[in-house]
Amino acid sequence: MLTIYGKSNKRTGFCDGLSRRSFLKVGGAAYGGLSLAEMLEMEALAGVGSSHRSVINIYLPGGPSHLDMWDLKPNAPAEIRGEFNPISTSVPGIQICELFPRVARMMDKFAIIRSISDSDGRHDGYQCMTGRKFGSRQPNGGWPSAGAWVSRLAGPVSKAVPPNLALMYPTGNRTWGEAGTAGFMDLSHSPFNLVGKKPRENPDNMVLQGITLDRLQDRDSLRTALDQYRRGVTASTNMESVDTYAQQALGILTDSKLCDALDLSKEDPRILARYGKSDVRFQRDGAPKMIENFCVARRLVEAGARYVSLNYSRWDWHGGDGMNFPRSRQEFPLLDQGLSALISDIHERGLAKQVSVVVWGEFGRTPKINKKNSRDHWPRVNAALLAGGNMQTGQVIGETNKYAEHAIKRPVKFQEIFATLYDHLGLDAHRDRIFDGSGTPRYPVDAGVDPIRELL
């Protein structure tokens, strides 16, 4: 993938100063891009309106601890309950970790799912991006990500903003940085990833392979970058289709809407300050703590995106240095600040019915603290936080046993959460179908999986 950005130009109003070419993307098999046909379709649909529905998917790579965040067990033995105390929230009867005081004060705007019971147990975001287990039987080409389904079934809102966007940083543990693909669908529905190897502070920092729009006129540099891209494509890829795809992407002309959404200098400084200050350093083999990307995600859905996925920090803390509780003290307050700012923004801007937010990781953590004063992987139960989307918030769904080992009430599957998000978007996951390459009809979720009734 090659994503090219440039500096803003006050005279033209565009991001680059090179005519209307405010960004240029060569998409690959992993992330995809926009075909010329997609751009023409966007042109036809321009001005549809700003009341579209959308989803922000916040992925916490590594498996955050469910019972240290959202499902504390204060009456359990010390080797299970851990070092944190529960605090009451704005909803009577609901308690969460003391390190989330802002979320606690606005608990009426959140819903907690404490009983996700089908985590795959793999250290990757596949299930948080598709809803399906990695080893499940797949159609030829693979299962599309949720954003790809939304892109294909709902289509674009704006001529200038792809419906399926990602702020997914490439990570040392590769599978923590993948937003999924279009699977058996056309590549144009793959996540349009807006970040590369450098964390974003502004659009000028979002570059891949050393090319920016300021160097776009240097054809030798551009040709070198394209050659590097071609060599990186796997041998199994159909090069003819990739070349066609690259040619289509190179011909895209658009306005500054997407670039403006990415430019946080255009945000009210008082609003941006609510989110907290990002840390651009990558967290070992995970993502950087780019908390301001929560604000970017909100700006992207306002600009016309239907689905935005992002990875935030690194949550795998069970090493020999006993990281779980020290890292929690560092990470929880910033996440508390960022989440509360995002949900406050959504409500203040009148978007609470239009924008759904989900926050989760790939699995939970062992109830029993290990000999290194940390918690190990625990796929038997997991938790998620949801908000917006006109959902019935201010409640807890599901219950675990006294040690948070497994669900004893209302076990929930990943696909049920996705079915709920699709329902919010106006999609019928059992009627809306796409035929794969073999002519087999495929659906966003499996038969028998319904939206979570308590949230509707």
Q: Is pLDDT above 50 for 253?
A: no
Neighbours of 29 (CB within 10 A): 19
Query: For 40-49, 88-97, 405-414, which range has the lowest pLDDT when averaged over its residues?
Result: 40-49
CATH class of domain segment(s) 49-190+258-455: alpha beta
Q: So what's the pLDDT on residue 198?
A: 62
pLDDT tens for each residue of 159-184 = 778 899 999 999 999 999 999 999 99
Beta pairing, strands 95-97 & 86-88: antiparallel
Instruction: Please tell me the predicted confidence (pLDDT) of residue 204.
Output: 37
Q: Are 178 and 125 in contact (CB under 8 A)?
A: yes
More confident residue, 181 or 5: 181
pLDDT of residue 356 exceeding 90: yes
Query: What pLDDT is stored for residue 80 in this prediction?
Result: 97
Looking at per-residue pLDDT, the higher value among 382 and 24 belongs to 382
pLDDT band at 7 (very low <50, low <70, confident <90, very high): very low
What's the pLDDT at 124? 94
| Least confident interval from 166-170, 208-212, 275-279, 412-416 | 208-212
Encode the chain in three state secondary structure: CEEECCCCCCCCCCCCCCCCCCCEEECCCCCCCCCHHHHHHHHHCCCCCCCCCEEEEEECCCCCCHHHHCCCCCCCCHHHHCCCCEEECCCCCCEEECCCHHHHHCHHHEEEEEEECCCCCCCCCHHHHHCCCCCCCCCCCCCCCHHHHHHHHHCCCECCECCEEEECCCCCCHHHHCCCCCCCCCHHHCCEECCCCCCCCCHHHCCECCECHHHCCCHHHHHHHHHHHHHHCCCCCCHHHHHHHHHHHHCCCCCCHHHHHHCHHHCCHHHHHHHCCCEEEECCCCCEECCCHHHHHHHHHHHCCCEEEEECCCCCCCCCCCCHHHHHHHHHHHHHHHHHHHHHHHHHCCCCCCEEEEEECCCEECCCCCCCCCCCEECCCEEEEEEECCCCCCEEECEECCCCCCEEECCECHHHHHHHHHHHCCCCCCCCCEECCCCCEECCCCCCCCCCHHHC
Task: Give the model's pLDDT for residue 160.
Answer: 76
Q: Are 78 and 67 in contact (CB under 8 A)?
A: no
Is the pLDDT higher at 5 or at 102? 102
What are the residues whose beta carbons fall under 8 Å from the beta carbon of 301, sequence distance 6 or more? Answer: 54, 56, 308, 351, 354, 355
Average pLDDT over residues 185-202: 75
357 — pLDDT class (breaks 50, 70, 90): very high
In this prediction, residue 1 carries a pLDDT of 36
Kindly state the average pLDDT of the residues 361-379.
96
pLDDT for 246 beyond 50: no
Task: Indicate if the pLDDT at residue 248 is higher than 90.
Answer: no
Instruction: Quote the pLDDT of residue 227.
Output: 53
Q: Measured between alpha carbons, how far is 217 from 342 in angstroms, rounded to an integer?
A: 39
Q: What is the mean pLDDT of the chain?
A: 82
Question: How much is the pLDDT for 319?
Answer: 75
For 77-134, write each residue's pLDDT tens digit. 999 999 999 999 999 999 999 999 999 999 999 999 999 999 999 999 999 999 999 9
* Token couple for 75: 């009456």
**pLDDT band at 238, cuts 50/70/90?**
low
Rounded Cα distance, 8 and 43, in Å: 23
Q: Which residue has the higher pLDDT, 179 or 15?
A: 179
Please state which of the ranges 41-55, 59-73, 95-109, 114-128 shows the lowest mean pLDDT. 41-55
Q: How far apart are CA 200 and CA 206, in angstroms?
A: 6
pLDDT at 401 over 80: yes
% of the chain with per-residue pLDDT over 70: 75
CA distances in angstroms from 284 to 88, 253, 261, listed in the order given: 34, 38, 29
- Domain ranges for the chain: 49-190+258-455
